Chains A and B, each alone.
Chain A
Amino acid sequence: MTEILSVRGLSVTYGKVQAVRSVDLHITSGETVAILGANGAGKSSIVRALTGLVRVAGGDISFQGQDVTRLSSDRRAAAGMALVPEGRRVFGDMTVTENLQMGGYLAGRAVAERTETMFALFPRLRERRTQLAATLSGGEQQMLAIARALMRGPSLLVLDEPSLGLSPIMVQTIYRAIKDLRDKGMTILLAEQSASVALSLADRAYLLEAGSVVLEGPARALRDDPRVREVYLGG
């Protein structure tokens, strides 16, 4: 098992606010890893630091053996990272197909074939392929955001709260798709507030509190930990 992502001493600050405090984190190829934590624990800040959307205040990030700490987000995408951002952020003025084409910006000739793969993964998107993304329901937008991220064939898929604001049924649909990806061998980093769903699918997890990792281990072990149970109930 090769290590695909290795983060050491990661800190993120916004002005005087320290959102992430010296976090260590690693993911091996094929693993699904969850980052859990309540509102404001720093999950998104870690995700943003990993994908190059916020400058790190300290520490380093190595991705597939390459130091990417100072690389811009587009270079990290080229290196094989893909992000499903918090709040989905699909391109509302573009059709479903155009969103997928944007996701495949780096995919070259594979775009047409991968678009078909995505439509097979989310048949709902095929029916709505000429519809503007802004007019999709929240769940459909989430499907689109995931499909868009998969378009370039990433080696690491980072998802930030894919269950946010969705109905329980839709959460199930989305998570079934993520589980599918996991079973096909995709390496996944999943930031979630809703620990129950995340732990049902993750191999390992980190629990964040006020920017620090307070607990880490196999998902099964975390499921039974009282500190995690507290987060379930809180979330």
Chain B
Amino acid sequence: MLPQLLIGGLGTGCIYALVGLGFTLVYRGMAMVNFAQGQVFMAGTFLGLYLARDLGVPAIPLLILVPAISFVAGALLEKLVFRRLYHSHEVFVVGAIGLGVMIENFVRALFPEPLPFPKIFGSGVYRFIPGVLFQKTYLWIVVITLILVLMLHIMFTYTRRGRALRAVAADAEIAGTMGVSVPRAIGLTFGLSFAVASIAGVLIGPLYFVSPDMGDMVGLKAFSAAVLGGINSIVGTIIGGILLGVIEATAAFYISTDYKDVFAFAILMLMLVVRPHGLLGRVVPVKV
């Protein structure tokens, strides 16, 4: 039974990791927490639903189109809304929560009922190991997450623009004096954070009936996963997300599906008591 649990946990864990990455990217760049991340994820699901169901867009183009649109939306929202909220973290958080509520209600107005998501990844199962079923959707989730993490890693480590984003995250003022346009870098950061979260939205779609409130719990858990891993560490966030997914799946099986969230959060809190800065986190001096 355990391998089966691990597969399920790994799948949801990857989703937490991707949405958590959205938190991490913005946090590293701005030292701010964008609590609308869960709703961005959900909006990605519904954008995917619309494109796949009504326009018949197949899986791979969908996985390019949805993040591309979300990227633009993120960069635009940064310019129109978030940019005015940086002066105080409290204001930013309130603004982000408000934006999340607005996104959720906007989607609810368009899609009032829970809906089935098209089986864009096919509905078959693989049996790599005898007795263990590997749903196609889970395979896609894991593979796409791996590809994304690799792409982000390559971008941040080896490309000029990726380095510039890291430089802005470390010291925006000095990065500016090197010729980096800080506002553009921040717009790019928000765009990226929206793009990754929206991909998670598409990946998870086929597993459930989708509804506009699906981002609430995922957002909270993804944030927790990011904190667990160390919110300023990309690798940490991935590990935190997967760990949370696996813990949750195990708890759901051995204890009860109804109480899996309680159990997951209890373990999370325990871990944070032991390691307050997360598994791979560092103490970050407060930015002025």
Interface-side segment among A3-11, A23-31, A32-40, A73-81: A73-81
Q: Evaluate contact between A82 and B177: CB separation under 8 angstroms.
A: yes
Chain A residues with CB under 8 Å of chain B are 51-53, 72-74, 76-78, 81-83, 85, 89, 91-94, 98, 101-103, 105-106, 148, 152
Task: Return A145 CB to nearest CB of chain B, in Å.
Answer: 9
Q: Evaluate contact between B160 and A101: CB separation under 8 angstroms.
A: yes
In-complex Cβ contact of A78 among B163, B167, B171, B179 (8 A): B179
Report if A53-B178 is in contact (Cβ < 8 Å); known contacts: A89-B171, A91-B167, A101-B163: no
Complex CA–CA separation, A78 to B164 (angstroms): 15
Task: Return B232 CB to nearest CB of chain A, in Å.
Answer: 10
Q: Is B181 an interface residue (CB 8 A)?
A: yes
Task: Return B118 CB to nearest CB of chain A, in Å.
Answer: 43
In-complex Cβ contact of A91 among B160, B170, B179, B181 (8 A): B170
Complex CA–CA separation, A103 to B160 (angstroms): 11
Count of interface residues, chain B, beta-carbon cutoff 8 Å: 17
Task: Return B93 CB to nearest CB of chain A, in Å.
Answer: 26
The B interface is mostly helix, strand or loop, or mixed, namely helix
- Chain A residues with CB below 8 A from B144, complex form: none
Q: Is B175 an interface residue (CB 8 A)?
A: yes
- Chain B residues with CB below 8 A from A94, complex form: 163, 166-167, 170
Q: Evaluate contact between B167 and A74: CB separation under 8 angstroms.
A: no
8 Å CB interface, B43-94 against A: none
Task: Return B159 CB to nearest CB of chain A, in Å.
Answer: 10
Task: Return A114 CB to nearest CB of chain B, in Å.
Answer: 13
Shortest 4 CB-CB distances between A and B: which pairs? A77-B179, A73-B176, A106-B179, A83-B177
Q: Evaluate contact between A52 and B163: CB separation under 8 angstroms.
A: no
- Chain A residues with CB below 8 A from B271, complex form: none
Complex CA–CA separation, A51 to B175 (angstroms): 12
